Amino acid sequence: MLSRTVDSFDEMFDVVVVGYGFGGAVSALSAHDAGAEVLLAEKMPNPGGISICSGGGLRLPHDRDATFQYLKATNDGTTPDNILEAFMDEMVQIDEYVQELATVNGARIKRTERPGSYAFPGFDQMYFLQIDDIPDFDPKRDYAYANALSGGPFMFKVLQDNIAKRGIKTRLGVSAKRLITDDKGAVAGVWLDDGSGPKAVGARKAVILACGGFEHAPEMQRQYWQINPVFSAAFVGNTGDGIRMTTDLGAELWHMWHFHGTYGFRHPDLPFAIRTKRLPDWVPDEREAEAPMSWILVGKNGRRFMNEYDPYMQDTGHRGIDRVDPSQMGQPFVPCYMILDDEARQLYPLGQTMFNDGDYENYEWSQDNLKEVQNGVIRKADTLEELAEMIGCPVEELTSTVANWNKSCDAGVDDLGRPPKSMVPVRQAPFYLAEVWPVVSNTQGGPVHDEKRRVVNAYGEPIPRLYTAGELGGIWGSLYLSGGNLTECFVSGRISGREAASEASRMD
Ligand SMILES: Cc1cc2nc3c(=O)[nH]c(=O)nc-3n(C[C@H](O)[C@H](O)[C@H](O)COP(=O)(O)OP(=O)(O)OC[C@H]3O[C@@H](n4cnc5c(N)ncnc54)[C@H](O)[C@@H]3O)c2cc1C
């Protein structure tokens, strides 16, 4: 067992940052720019974390106070106002900050108007900022290990070039194991292991944990979530280490139930789930869903049970399948079954992979979904009877589900709230079926922090010299704001880096 205290350190820095996604990168830049000598340690062989897989879009405010009201409404009392106020104070500075960072490699910034996902006051006062071009940069060539959405690699390149330009010491394949404290209980360093055994690395000022959430920690998910199993969409590096290290020192936890997720497929050769096609978000009472959704979902009994197309289904898509039947101790909708017909099959690819992992080859989902019929991710049936047999449900249940659905499509009204224009009938044989599972894109929970992003204990007192950044203990406690996690990486990275660097040195 690694000891909590040590007599001497193998190495010493002012600030040690754990995790090299966007959160860790911005923390390291911020601490460095405030005058600290920084070590940035990353457990995986390649940097980028989940961040590099993302769309790379930061959600930013046109109007500070309106955005505060939106965050207050969507957090529904789960995050105190003073934390949201501090978040807003920083959020208004991010546009200018990215402009500065972008000069490192001539990156081009793109801004897009986009309202929040729900029509609470302030939802129409926000926009997206992305990097959409960098001269001589090719994400597929330069980050061949990352099978990413378009924007994430661009933003990561800007951060990585800034880290390199400043000469910030970076180590890959180095895992943080436990925190080290001094005799007063303040964080004094961290045990880091590069594979050759743990080394005690001291922090004169502070440690910042930016090591993500618990997307790939099934045992932790099992304790905090009812729905089970849930498969990560993107990354195996985030295993809840930051939660273990901080609770070890008495940290309080929050938002652990909340994850950014949806539903998707499993491929036998991948440890990742594959999310369903990203259909455009819609805003209840404000903007209708226009896109056709080619499928319906049914449970093991052959009946539909949820609106398959939530306003922001990439975030809450899994919530409709999160149910337990107490009489059976079973989850009737895990897995559930996607059903579509031959015409719908030709509309678009049903899935899209995006992951950060050099061990697995990029899996390209086919345009017409036929590759997936061949490899068994999707199964084909000539009749509804055959489809019912595959599910193991009574034939009459499934035929009546499909008949009712087709009638609802004709009428343009669905009892379960499916947006009318998204409704696509299931008529044209052959039919297709795929098992569908809950998917976690990223988790929101972790240690509670104060407005300076200091980790606090169960009594609300800061644990001295311990900070977090990024999604580890994020502010999102009820409904998530699209683009919010990446913004939080910048906001919390800037706050934690600055605050950590301003701590008095333990050596003075
Ligand atoms: C496909 C996809 C698309 C997304 N798109 C968006 C989007 O468009 N906008 C948005 O806001 N959010 C998006 N998200 C969510 C967002 O990407 C993440 O919440 C965010 O990037 C998390 O950043 P982070 O720096 O906190 O964590 P990460 O980027 O995951 O970085 C954490 C790093 O810590 C490392 N680490 C873990 N444990 C240790 C340890 N013990 N020692 C050392 N290192 C460790 C990990 O290996 C990892 O590299 C998306 C998520 C997915 C999966």
Q: Is residue 53's pLDDT more than 90?
A: yes
Q: What is the pLDDT of residue 285?
A: 87
Confidence bin at 329 (pLDDT 50/70/90): confident
pLDDT tens digits, 6-42: 999 999 999 999 999 999 999 999 999 999 999 999 9
Confidence bin at 214 (pLDDT 50/70/90): very high
Q: What is the pLDDT of residue 125?
A: 94
Q: Please tell me the residue having the least CA distance from ligand 1 atom 13.
A: 54
Structural domains of the chain sorted by starting position, each given as residue range(s) with its CATH number in brackets: 11-214+238-258+444-502 (3.50.50.60), 260-440 (3.90.700.10)
CA of 56 to the centre of ligand 1 (A): 11
Q: What is the pLDDT of residue 454?
A: 98
pLDDT tens digits, 476-500: 999 999 999 999 999 999 999 999 9
Pocket test for ligand 1, best of 94, 259, 442 (most atoms within 8 A of CB): 442
For 338, residues 6+ apart whose C-beta sits below 8 A from its C-beta are 276, 295, 296, 297, 350, 432, 433, 434, 435, 436
Q: Is residue 508's pLDDT more than 90?
A: no
Q: Is residue 295's pLDDT more than 90?
A: yes
User: Cβ distance 195 to 173 under 8 Å?
Assistant: yes
CA of 88 to the centre of ligand 1 (A): 21
Q: Is residue 433's pLDDT more than 80?
A: yes
Q: Is residue 361's pLDDT more than 90?
A: no
For 414, residues 6+ apart whose C-beta sits below 8 A from its C-beta are 307, 408, 420, 423
Q: What is the pLDDT of residue 195?
A: 97
CA of 297 to the centre of ligand 1 (A): 29
Confidence bin at 289 (pLDDT 50/70/90): very high
pLDDT tens digits, 74-118: 999 999 999 999 999 999 999 999 999 999 999 999 999 998 989
Q: What is the pLDDT of residue 453?
A: 98
User: Cβ distance 263 to 273 under 8 Å?
Assistant: no
Sign for the CA dihedral angle at 233, 237, 239, 240 comes to negative
- Tokens at 171, concatenated: 């180590």
Which residues partner with 147 through β-bridges?
Answer: 355
Q: Is residue 258's pLDDT more than 80?
A: yes
Average pLDDT over the chain, rounded to whole?
A: 96
Q: What percentage of the chain has pLDDT greater than the value 90? A: 95
Pocket lining for ligand 1, CB < 6 angstroms: 18-24, 41-44, 49-51, 53-55, 57, 149, 175-176, 210-212, 233-234, 237-238, 241, 354, 441-442, 470-472, 483-486, 489
Ligand 1 atom closest to 148 (CA): 1
Q: What is the pLDDT of residue 380?
A: 98
Burial zone of 508 (CB within 10 Å; 0-12 exposed, 13-18 middle, 19+ buried): exposed
Q: Please tell me the residue having the least CA distance from ligand 1 atom 19.
A: 485
Q: Please tell me the residue having the least CA distance from ligand 1 atom 12.
A: 485
Residue 56 gets the label, from left (phi > 0), alpha (psi -120 to 50) or beta, of left
Q: What is the mean pLDDT of residues 241-264?
A: 98
CA distance linking residue 433 with residue 429, whole number of Å: 12
- Tokens at 350, concatenated: 């049903």
Residue 422 identity (one-letter amino acid): S
Confidence bin at 149 (pLDDT 50/70/90): confident
User: Is 451 in a helix, a strand, or coil?
Assistant: coil
pLDDT tens digits, 153-175: 999 999 999 999 999 999 999 99
Least confident of 154-163, 351-360, 405-414: 351-360
Q: Is residue 64's pLDDT more than 80?
A: yes
CA of 381 to the centre of ligand 1 (A): 39
CA of 488 to the centre of ligand 1 (A): 11
Q: Is residue 412's pLDDT more than 80?
A: yes
Which of 208, 228, 226, 210 shows the shortest CA–CA distance to 218?
A: 228
Q: What is the pLDDT of residue 445?
A: 98
Ligand 1 atom closest to 49 (CA): 49
Q: What is the pLDDT of residue 362?
A: 84
CA of 446 to the centre of ligand 1 (A): 13
Q: What percentage of the chain has pLDDT greater than the value 70? A: 100
CA distance linking residue 384 with residue 395, whole number of Å: 7
* DSSP-assigned states of every residue in 348-381: S-SEE--EE-TTS---PPPTTSHHHHHHTSSEEE
Phi, psi of 342, deg, nearest 5: -70, -35
Q: What is the pLDDT of residue 328?
A: 86
CA distance linking residue 25 with residue 51, whole number of Å: 10
Helices 81-91 + 64-75 axis angle, to 10: 140
pTM of the model: 0.97
Confidence bin at 427 (pLDDT 50/70/90): very high
Q: Is residue 333's pLDDT more than 90?
A: yes
Looking at 76-198, list the stretches that DSSP marks H as alpha helix, in order from N- to C-terminal side: 81-91, 94-102, 139-142, 152-166
